[in-house]
Amino acid sequence: MNREDTQADSARDGTASPGELSTKPELDLDQFLPYRLNSLADRISQALAQLYEERYQLNIAQWRVLAWLSHCDELTAKKVCTYTNMDKARVSRAIQALEERGLITRTPSPRDQRLHDLHLTAAGQAMLAELIPEAQAWEAELVATLTAGEYRDLLNVMRKLERQLERIG
CATH number, position 41: 1.10.10.10
Q: Do 58 and 52 form a contact (C-beta atoms < 8 A)?
A: yes
3-state secondary structure of 166: helix
pLDDT band at residue 82, thresholds of 50, 70 and 90? very high
Our count of domains for the chain comes to: 1
Tell me whether residue 152 is in a domain.
Answer: yes
Tell me whether residue 59 is in a domain.
Answer: yes
Tell me whether residue 5 is in a domain.
Answer: no
Task: Tell me the pTM.
Answer: 0.77
The alpha carbons of the chain give a radius of gyration, in whole angstroms, of: 24
Identify residue 100 by its one-letter amino acid code: E
Residue 8 scores a pLDDT above 70: no
Tell me whether residue 11 is in a domain.
Answer: no
Q: What residues make up the domain containing 135?
A: 28-168
Tell me whether residue 10 is in a domain.
Answer: no
**How many CB atoms sit inside 10 A of residue 65's CB?**
28
Tell me whether residue 125 is in a domain.
Answer: yes
Residue 5 scores a pLDDT above 70: no
